[in-house]
Amino acid sequence: MTYSNSHTKLDSRSIELRFKLLKIIEQCRRGHIGSSLSLLEIIRVMYDDIIRFDSSSPDWPDRDRFILSKGHGCLSLYMLLAEKGFFPESELYKVCQYDALLGGHPEYGSTPGIEASTGALGHGLPIGVGMALAAKIDRKDYRVFVLTGDGECQEGTIWEAAMCASKHKLSNLTVIIDYNHMQAFGPIDEVQSLEPFADKWRSFGFAVEECNGHDIIILKKILSDKSIRAEKPRVIICHTIKGMGLPSIQENPDWHHKSKVTDDELKILFRELEALK
């Protein structure tokens, strides 16, 4: 199935969050900007509408668990955690500074609201499977959501974890895939194609759905669906655009990671966002 999201119109909240992200970059001058933008709507919907949490008590035992397995997209996660009260918003503008609360990848135990240290790809789903299995054993009703990247799905640990999830019928586990069709070295289909992607997950025993990963209405509808799926774990393949909203970096692998963002580059990016208003 083909998904066209190139003409998706971002609403005012998505644009506002992108401005905030650029202001963070203006301070730290580095980061995985393209990846943070492709998954921004997914994380926004998760924290606005889907997961159960208490920011005043991040370790609340009955909270839903959300793991950002593609940890390099953490700027978007940090923004939502700050907005929901896990830590002061002022911390956003200290990212990657010495002794800062927020690093270049999420760190469990150091940052409130982070469920797993991620960055070395392929580990978030195995951790999530363990959490979902623990919930079943302990007869708890919390859900586990794991957001992975598409390039990350080339890792063998993803598929080992998928087999385990299916074996144990982890219907409380949802895998969300940021399928932006790009990875560090270029287009997924040129580096190592994942297709037929949905059929692979079905063959591993998952209930599979696909959607436009920037469409807020569709994301809310799919992610809030609590229908029983014959005790199957679930995967939602979200078709996204790397760098969504900023034409000069969209689908541009040069922006997978930037270690030094210049003033001139920032001026262009802010100008492109202004044009979206």
The whole-angstrom distance between residue 249's C-alpha and the CA centroid of its chain comes to: 18
Burial class (CB in 10 A: 0-12, 13-18, 19+), 192: exposed
pLDDT digits (tens, 9 = 90+) for 142-197: 999 999 999 999 999 999 999 999 999 999 999 999 999 998 888 999 999 999 99
| CA angle (40, 46, 47) in 5-degree steps | 95
pLDDT of 2: 55
Longest dimension (CA), the chain: 55
pLDDT digits (tens, 9 = 90+) for 233-266: 999 999 999 999 999 999 888 888 888 899 999 9
Mean per-residue pLDDT over the chain, rounded: 93
Strands 173-179 and 186-187: unpaired
Angle between helices 263-274 and 12-28 (to 10 degrees): 170
| CA angle (197, 219, 170) in 5-degree steps | 60
pLDDT of 121: 93
Spell out the residues 6+ positions from residue 151 whose beta carbon is closer than 8 angstroms to its own.
121, 182, 183, 184, 188, 191
Domain limits, the chain: 33-250
Assign domain 33-250 to its CATH superfamily: Thiamin diphosphate (ThDP)-binding fold, Pyr/PP domains (3.40.50.970)
Helix H or strand E segment including 65: strand 65-68
Query: Phi/psi of residue 168, each to 5°?
Result: -95, 10
Residue 239's closest CA among 173, 150, 119? Answer: 150
Burial class (CB in 10 A: 0-12, 13-18, 19+), 58: middle
